[in-house]
Amino acid sequence: MRLPDSFYQSRKLVDLVENQTSYELEDSAMHIFETHLRAERVQLQFGTPVLASMFEGKKVMHLGDRPSFDFLPGESLILPANEMMCIDFPEAREDNPTRCLAMEIGEDRLKGVISFMNEQMGRLDGQVWNLMDYNFHFTNDHSIFQILQRLVYLYTENHPSKDLFVTNMVQELIVRILQTNVRKTYQTQTSELSGSRRLAFIVQYIRKNIRNPLTIKELSEKACMSESHFYKVFKQEMGISPTDFINVERIQKAAALLEDTTINLTEVFLESGFTNRSYFNRMFKRLKGISPSNYRNRFV
């Protein structure tokens, strides 16, 4: 993610560890932190829920009783109010700084968006939208990346309508993060939820039949819905279309197969449900940022 020129023109580099540049609006705030020296066990805490997202470098996060984990560019983390973060910066230096965004979002704003979603974006099987799981660690998809990039620009811009622009973007960001959270829940708890949640059952069905052709018609019949209603509900809850979700699952399958260097590339894309090698290559690079052959070379 690129920081705009307006940020560098206005920010003052005072501290070499977690230098903070802040932009505050009525019910949200954005802080950009930069670290230019290796450091350990740096503590940070906010009084409101926070979205943290990495720009550059690497952090090692220590949160409560959970195991420490790497926090890398392109990833985000949702933290509750008053969560104490303890952070290591193992690679930070002057020519390789660590840069991270921390965005505070007021509880009232979160509750307002969730109320709107429950009124306008009803979920299946009696489920309702709730606050996302805190300490939710995820990789930004393309839509979330674009929103964060736009928010950085808006906060650092001097524009009379800044509050209005940010309000609209923050609402979309919350919706997409909640959808990402639901999607990850269905992906990681498929077996436990498949007996009571239709979309979890569909995720399980997709995985069991990943190497076979899969159509919206087939999936909607399995979910006991019309094609149009299934498509709408799936995208509304999961944040992506059924076709895009199938491609994500197929690329995940392909990535796992590529780690076994005894399986040739043709077998990989066929076992993952692709019938066209060039389409497989394009989709893999789009979702993983690297070609299948280069990804395979990591394990040679």
For 121, the token pair is 């974006």
pTM of the model: 0.86
CB 89 within 8 A of CB 38: yes
Q: What is the pLDDT of residues 240-286, one digit of tens each?
A: 999 999 999 999 999 999 999 999 999 999 999 999 999 999 999 99
Q: What is the pLDDT of residues 215-228, one digit of tens each?
A: 999 999 999 999 99
pLDDT grade, residue 129 (50/70/90)? Answer: very high
CATH class of 190-297: mainly alpha
Mean pLDDT of 106-135: 87
Q: What are phi and psi of 67, to 5 degrees?
A: -60, 145
Per-residue pLDDT at 50: 94
**Residue 69 bridge partners (DSSP):** 61
Mean of pLDDT over the chain: 92
CB 51 within 8 A of CB 77: yes
**Residue 96 bridge partners (DSSP):** 93
CB 74 within 8 A of CB 145: yes
CB 134 within 8 A of CB 110: no
Residue written as tokens 């392909």?
Answer: 254
3-state secondary structure of 4: coil
- Per-domain residue ranges for the chain? 1-128+137-188, 190-297
CATH architecture entry for 1-128+137-188:
Sandwich (2.60)
Q: Do domains 1-128+137-188 and 190-297 have the same CATH topology?
A: no
Q: Is the pLDDT of residue 147 over 90?
A: yes
Q: Is the pLDDT of residue 5 over 90?
A: no
Q: How far apart are CA 77 and CA 60, in angstroms?
A: 13
